[in-house]
Chains A and B, each alone.
Chain A
Amino acid sequence: MSRSFWLGGCAASALIICGPAMLTAQEDPAERSLVINGEIEIVTEADAPAHLENLSTIRSGWTFRSPETQTMQMDDFDNPATLGVEAARAKFSSDLGNGESCASCHEAPEELAGVRAVYPKFDESAGEVQTIEMQINECITDRAGAEAWDYDKTDMINMSALMSFVSRGEAVNVAIDGPAAETWERGKEIYYTRYGLLELSCANCHEDNYDNMIRADHLSQGQVNGFPTYRLKNAKLNSVHGRFKGCVRDTMAETFSPGSPEFVALELYVASRGNGLSVEGPAVRN
């Protein structure tokens, strides 16, 4: 519930005008429901998947944002991430540098609908767990024979956003067993490791303290179902690994790099914590 958000805000700042917390369902961010363009129903709260020991309910980051930020995501015309999606759509059928394009092999982005929901996933031929970015680069290099895109730069983040966009509403359902199990365990270990001079783990903030204010930030469960996210703070689309990097840096630690095996494992683990939520990206966050 978001009661503490408002109470925290009141205790925090005279700038926020607040009376007794009598919020109606429409005003309470945690009680609103997300339907995009009036048609795509998004599951923003669900029972925790069986493997999650310490949470009973999982919630999308959307449920922790202010009503204004939430509303921006309810219509593609209001969602600033739509620009990145449109750019990727154009890119999809443009030359990768050697005459080929995504469209030479995949008729339209919509052909890849639903794919996002199961990534990261184990790839037989590569013999490793791949994020959707790695899969895209595999297509670009191995299949099309063109030059790889930077893991964490605009073209890739936009294309990743398009892959989320065409999968919106699908239930996140990443596999954690079989050949993915080892990577998943590694990710889980990283999730619970207390890094840096502040000795903080992901769990310290996103499992033990979600719904609490940390300074001006209302802590969410750190779910990745909304990625890539358009952040109002830096006014651009942000990748999952870019976000991980920022969170690790904030513990006064040496971060891992976007695309590193550690962040791939962490993404698989964190994505699995959201199994049952809908793919929601590209989402709007602050």
Chain B
Amino acid sequence: LWAADAVAPTDVSYTELGGIAEPLSDTPGDIENGKALMNKGSGNCIACHQVSALSELPFHGEVGPPLDGVAERWDEAQIRGIVANAKKTFPGTIMPAFYHTGPYVRPGDAYTGEAATGDLAPILSAQDVEDLVAFLMTLDTYPE
């Protein structure tokens, strides 16, 4: 369910504040793929967050805070922790835990509405998390 060089979701160690000090995979994060995950795919982060660097994409949500300048507000470890499981940083937050395998209430098989079968994979892979972290680390300014 996860790559051999990745830390399993259940083995991730979070700091007291909810950060993750070490990368979750051996391959460095890919900024371009991280950028793509902000939109389509399983991330769909802009459903809830506005990001000026992605202004060519339509419909940024406003459920979460804008992510402009996020790398100024948090260090890499904390950002990794927020993407992997934001509930460790913000208890009870609406933001989904992306590198997590439950337990969940009535887990589904993706968006089919059917029950999930077998072991659950996290919503994002360890590499996806690293790619997103790499992209978020580029958001170090506050556009006008």
Contact = CB atoms under 8 A, between A and B. Distances in A.
Nearest to A204: B94
B96 A198 contact: yes
Contacts of B97: 199
Interface stretch (A11-19, A100-108, A153-161): A11-19
Chain B interface SS verdict (over half)? loop
Contacts of A4: 62
B41 interface: no
Between A248, A251, A252, the greatest number of chain B beta carbons within 10 A of the residue's beta carbon is seen for: A252
A195 B96 CA distance: 11
Q: Is the interface of A mostly helix, strand, loop or mixed?
A: loop
B137 interface: no
B62 A208 contact: no
A255 B62 contact: no
A216 B58 contact: yes
A15 to B, nearest CB: 6
A250 interface: yes
Given A194-B105, A254-B107, A200 B96 contact: yes
B59 A12 contact: yes
| Residue from B50, B96, B106 with most neighbouring chain A CB atoms (10 Å) | B106
A12 B123 CA distance: 25
B46 interface: yes
A195 B63 contact: no
B113 A199 contact: no
B107 to A, nearest CB: 6
Nearest to B105: A195
Contacts of A254: 106-109, 113-116
Contacts of B44: 215
Interface string B69-107: 000000000000000000000000010110000101111
A-B pairs with the 10 shortest C-beta distances? A249-B113, A254-B115, A216-B59, A215-B47, A255-B113, A13-B58, A198-B96, A254-B106, A253-B108, A12-B59
7 contacts: A12-B58, A13-B59, A197-B108, A213-B62, A215-B44, A249-B112, A252-B108
Interface of A: 4, 8, 11-15, 193-200, 204, 208-209, 212-216, 245, 248-255
Given A253-B106, A253-B107, 17 more contacts: A8-B60, A8-B61, A11-B60, A195-B106, A196-B108, A198-B123, A213-B59, A213-B62, A214-B61, A214-B63, A215-B46, A252-B111, A253-B104, A253-B108, A253-B113, A254-B107, A254-B108
Interface of B: 44, 46-48, 50, 55, 58-63, 94, 96-97, 102, 104-116, 120, 123
